[in-house]
Structure 1
């Protein structure tokens, strides 16, 4: 196997793209949690697990990340220590970032806006998440384990099709959500945003690949 499309980037460009994408993703996820009108599937599963187990969102985000790192190794049928290290380096500050943005936005007047505007903001948060995933997947320096799973499915099994890979990568969080809802008889962070994430986030990632920083190509892909 060989790496493809290793487009050169200056260190300053690489850092700039990466910092922007992780902040955008943290903001998007935090916004959907604060609006409580449906989060992206992984975030929604973490919110429901946090309520079911009486744990903090931060704790569950970290635990989910560890579980997905192990699952990714099973899918690849090998341990890639550089990849795993990148997953952990990304996941830990990102989990804090989502929790921080959710708390910060929750203290603003945005959460008291009329329903229509909160729906718009929630969907905007999903779009932000999809765009951010597109950017740092193309950089491919380090990825959140959840997005690494989508990347693995996309390029190892689905010939680069983001619209198929994203919903397939959502099977584990959907399963967790169903278990939590059956156990607690309550549903959290599930609404129109969750449905929008399920049906559209993969397409958003694919579209962003073409129109958001189109000069940025997928790097270091091993296929």
Structure 2
């Protein structure tokens, strides 16, 4: 989906509202998919599988690859923006911690004892929450998760605002990471129905959320 971009800036109060709402939605969505274990979004699934390879905490495994993506973003844009990097880190640190904490809390609720169709629905709901969160903080373009910053950069720099193509391109590295992890451990984690749902629909869901969730909020300050 392709969208109009505007230079109109939300108030600081709205920026804070969208920021906190998006980080909570994204953390809960990712934690829900991890706890249910019927398939996480691709980058989260890659982190879970690498976590089993390297035997480190999930929070750390969520943080390190994302930090490397910050460097990739700098290379693509061919410039260093201190405010952008700080925004990525400010978003990334609480997000990584919250996903780890929320996934543990949800796992302790007995959520995996629910009927299989309900678990599938909740897993897909998690992907939908992630998509809405991405849409919100990409449009605000204030503080973004580095991976979603990458998606936004390639979306407008190379694909004329098409969220579906950009999301598929950004999904390529985690797919490779998952394949390598499976080769090493001979097991696969957090990849299931929800992962396929995310692979097929997440880009489109971001575009739909752009249009229908807080529709007055447009994309701003896009790097092309």
Instruction: Tell me whether 1:26 sits opposite 2:24 in the alignment.
Output: no
Partner of 2:90: 89
Range that drifts further, 7-16 or 178-187: 7-16
Structure 1 range deviating more: 81-90 or 167-176: 81-90
Per-residue CA deviations over 1:33-72 (Å, capped at 9, x if unaligned) read 0000000000000000000111110111111111111111
How far apart in 1 are the matches of 2:65 and 2:223? Answer: 25
1:185 alignment partner in structure 2: 186
Task: After TM superposition, give the deviation of residue 90 of structure 1 in Å.
Answer: 0.9
Shift of 1:142: 1.1
Cross-structure match for 2:173: 172
Q: Report how far residue 174 of structure 1 moved.
A: 0.7
Asked if structure 2 preserves the Cα contact closer than 8 Å seen for 1:46 and 1:60, the reply is yes
Gaps of 5+ in 2: none
The corresponding residue for 1:137 is 138
**Contact 1:5–1:221 (Cα < 8 Å) also in 2:** no
Query: Corresponding residue for 1:161?
Result: 162
Query: Within 5 A, what are the aligned runs for 1:50-199?
Result: 50-199=51-200
**Unpaired stretches in structure 1, ≥5 consecutive residues:** none
Greater shift in the superposed pair: 106-115 or 132-141: 106-115
Query: Which segments of structure 1 move beyond 4 Å, counting only runs of 4 or more?
Result: none
Scaled by the length of structure 2, the TM-score of the pair is: 0.95
8 Å CA contact retained: 1:154, 1:160: yes
Offset at residue 128 of structure 1 (A): 0.4
Distance in 2 separating the partners of 1:53 and 1:177: 13
In angstroms, what is the RMSD of aligned CA positions? 1.0
- In the superposition, the TM-score normalised over structure 1's length comes to 0.96
User: Aligned equivalents of 1:222 and 1:183: distance in 2?
Assistant: 38
Partner residue, 1:202: 203
Count the aligned residue pairs.
220
* Residue of structure 2 in register with 1:15 after alignment: 16
5-14 or 88-97, which deviates more? 5-14
User: What is the alpha-carbon distance in structure 1 between the residues aligned to residue 97 and residue 181 of structure 2?
Assistant: 23
Q: Which residue of 2 aligns with 1:216?
A: 217
